[in-house]
Amino acid sequence: MYWTLFLIFVRIGTFTIGGGYAMLPLIEREVVNRGLITKEDFIDLFAVAQSLPGIFAVNISIFLGYKLKGIKGSTVCALGAILPSFVIILAIALFFSQIQNNVWVEKIFKGLRPAVVALIVVPCMTAARSAGLTWKTAGVAITAALLIWLVRISPVYIIVTAAMGGLLCKLNIKKW
């Protein structure tokens, strides 16, 4: 089982460009579709891994490994997720001077951008559906994103305001 977990995360780490969120559909397909964990457990692990500091891909691999096989499983999964990136960066560093201003390398990365965006959007939409997100709550998230992006309001203020609003709504609902 450890070897299987290691190979799953090596494959995910090798073929995913764009970071942890781009890995989500692959991780979900590998662990949920194989029946290693349930969809609900995956969403819970996703939420916890997202809320902790650190590299998201490593966080979720550690949590999945721990859920499946304890501390040894989390170590194996973390190594599987980290190792491909380490080897790729090492290879790039060795040959950086030869590829630094290469037009083809630039074109390859520009071509990968739309795929990376899709790999990030799809798991976000899946998580939103699984969490029961409505258009009303999506509107709150979109408004918050626009305030941060366009008005340049600090995310800290958005989080504090949303927490107070949620608390007030909860208190108001209990009164009725």
Q: pLDDT value at position 79?
A: 92
Cα dihedral value 102, 107, 110, 111, nearest 10: -140
Q: Which of 18-22, 120-124, 155-159, 160-164 has the lowest mean pLDDT?
A: 18-22
Question: What's the confidence (pLDDT) of residue 155?
Answer: 92
Q: Taking 70 as the threshold, does the pLDDT of residue 165 lie above it?
A: yes
How high does pLDDT run on average in the chain? Answer: 84
Q: Percentage of the chain surpassing pLDDT 90?
A: 18
d(CA 163, CA 169): 10
Kindly state the average pLDDT of the residues 143-161.
92
* 93 pLDDT higher than 60: yes
Q: Long-range contacts: 104-111, Cβ < 8 Å, 24+? A: none
- Structural element, H or E, at residue 153: none
Taking only the tens place, the pLDDT of each residue in 8-24 is: 888 888 877 666 677 77
Q: What is the CA radius of gyration of the chain?
A: 20
Highest average pLDDT, of 37-41, 69-73, 113-117, comes from 69-73
The pTM score is 0.60
DSSP H helices, the chain, are: 2-15, 20-31, 39-51, 56-99, 103-130, 135-146, 155-175
Give the pLDDT score at 175: 58
Domain segments of the chain as ranges: 2-133, 134-176
